[in-house]
Structure 1
Amino acid sequence: MTRRKTSTRVDGEITRQRILDAAGKLFAINGFAETTSKSIALEAGVDLASINYHFGSRNGLYQKVLAQAHSSIINIELLNNIAHSGQPAEKKLKAFIELLCNATRSGNEWQAQTLAREILAPTSNLAVLFNQELEPKLLIIRELLSEVTGIPIDAPQLAPCLLNVIAPCMVLLVAGQSVPGALQETANLPQQQLIEHMYHFALSGLLAMGEQYRLTHSSSS
């Protein structure tokens, strides 16, 4: 009996992942609005009832696809490992930059495309993604950048620092190989060279912003 239950559970997980993979690819190509449950079931080789059984609805499935896509690019466990490594702030920053740069060459094409579609044409599901995936990760990253810059974690001046560090790698992830010119040239750099460039550029900017914050607030106090 135990063996049968275990086998059923494993089969269920395989089916669930097959649906997620099929849905992710279709959402990446066609977008949420144009991807039907029927087309997902056909692509995954399952019946429609399986989608509702595992995810409740097409919306539920889409939310799980977005969460899996984001987790494959920025994993919260890896972020926590960096944050609690006990290393100096600058080394933590380099490890974080390396994590982002590695994501640009991870082969997660449909994951990046699905996220890009949702960000450029947001649905009501974006709020769920933010609450479940983005917000906890952004808090960890803000703490790291606060440690590097000396800017308090709740200071509004830290928000553009976060954007300036993350945005270049996100642009490379979404469009690096597909857009000729500087993006494609950057995406084709040797991996270690790309990491070193992104790290030193980010570090210089963060240190400068930290100094500017201290000067501004020391003169106003």
Structure 2
Amino acid sequence: MDVPPEKPTGNASRGLRADGEATRARILEAAGELFAAGGYADTTSKAIAARAGVDQASINYHFGSRSGLYQALLADAHRRLVSLADLRQLAESRLAPAQKLRTLIEQLVQRATGSTQGWHLKVLVREILAPSPHCQTLFQEEIFPKVFFVRRLISEITAIPEDDPAITRCLLSVMAPCLMLLLGTSGIPGPVQELLRMPGEALSEHLHRYALAGLTAIAQEHAG
């Protein structure tokens, strides 16, 4: 008579989950380092598995495929840059709109000039400079939902309706310098390298003052 296998106890079940989470995190870390160095096209599941110390079946188990793993990496990297929860909290805070903008710019500058960037920012920058087939997914699932809150913030500052085309133009004008700083971390030569060597506080102050002056001018133009 066959004896059915024992079901894991509560502690055993928690232990299995913890082991699974640790394996998933190890795969993410290994893949992040390899994707940051070689890009999506030149990084194989075999290389990732070897670096993580797992078999390739573990990648498929946790992420479905190499594509699923890369999409998870992009999402994780963008959340570390700025998370949707942090943006929502900032948008709903009682800070003055101008101070909300200052806080957002400070965070982005800190991410670009910080000394402990790891692979996360490198993966994002590589994806922007040489988009893979997964770039659209990154925009749809991570970037566009966050843009909603930045548009709302700019609308609060300018008193221009969120759906007005002027808000889109303002969004690009405010965020473009921050994007250039992030791209500069890839080593692109030019003035941006000088900016990255500046104190983060001074750089944040300048970008905030410049953005706020532009938004004020557009608001006045729109009202007139």
**Above 0.5 in TM-score?**
yes
- Counterparts of 1:82-101 in structure 2 under 5 Å? 82-101=90-109
Q: Is 1:214 the counterpart of 2:218 in the alignment?
A: no
| Residue 182 (structure 2) pairs with residue 173 (structure 1) | yes
Task: For 1:103 and 1:152, locate their aligned partners in 2 and report how far apart those are by CA, in whole Å.
Answer: 30
Which of 47, 59, 71 is equivalent to 1:63? 71
> 1:172 Cα shift?
1.4
Does the 8 A contact of 2:122 with 2:186 survive in 1?
A: no
Equivalent residue, structure 1, for 2:4:
none
Write the distance in 2 (CA, Å) between the matches of 1:177 and 1:25: 15
Match of 1:6 among 11, 14, 33: 14
Note the C-alpha offset of 1:45: 1.2
Q: Identify the range of structure 1 (105-114 vs 1-10) with the bigger mean alpha-carbon deviation.
A: 105-114
Matches of 1:174 and 1:124, distance apart in 2:
20
**Larger deviation, residues 86-95 vs 180-189:** 180-189
Give 1:80's match in structure 2, choosing from 88, 97, 100: 88
TM-score (normalised: structure 2): 0.90
Q: Is the 8 A contact 2:125 2:182 kept in 1?
A: no
How far the C-alpha of 1:137 sits from its partner, in A, is 0.4
Distance 2:204 2:214 in 1: 15
Report the TM-score when normalising by structure 1.
Answer: 0.91
Q: State the Cα deviation string for residues 68-117 of structure 1 (Å, max 9, x = none).
A: 01001011111111101122211111111112112113422422221222
CA change 1:32–1:159 in 2 (3 A) is: same
d(CA) in 1 for partners of 2:95, 2:37: 41
Name the SS of the counterpart of 2:95 in structure 1: coil
Runs of 4+, deviation exceeding 4 Å: none
Shift, 1:23, TM fit: 0.9
- Aligned: 1:23 with 2:41: no
Ranges in structure 1 where 5+ consecutive residues have no aligned partner? 216-221
Contact 1:172 1:187 in 2 (8 A): yes
For 1:121, which of 122, 130, 147 is the aligned residue? 130
Answer whether contact 1:151 1:158 (CA < 8 A) is retained.
yes
Residue 136 (structure 1) aligns with: 145
The residue number in structure 2 matching 1:111 is 120
Number of paired residues? 215
Distance in 1 between the 2:112 and 2:82 partners? 11
Could you say which residue in structure 2 is the equivalent of 1:158?
167
Conservation of the 8 A alpha-carbon contact between 2:36 and 2:126? yes
- 1:89, 1:144 within 8 Å by CA — same for their partners in 2? yes
C-alpha contact (below 8 Å) 1:177/1:187 kept by paired residues: no
The equivalent residue for 1:218 is none
Greater Cα radius of gyration, structure 1 or 2:
2
Q: Distance in 2 between matches of 1:180 and 1:62?
A: 28
Residues 197-212 of structure 1: matches in 2 within 5 Å?
A: 197-212=206-221
Deviates further, 201-210 or 98-107: 98-107
Letter of the 1:138 partner, please give it: V
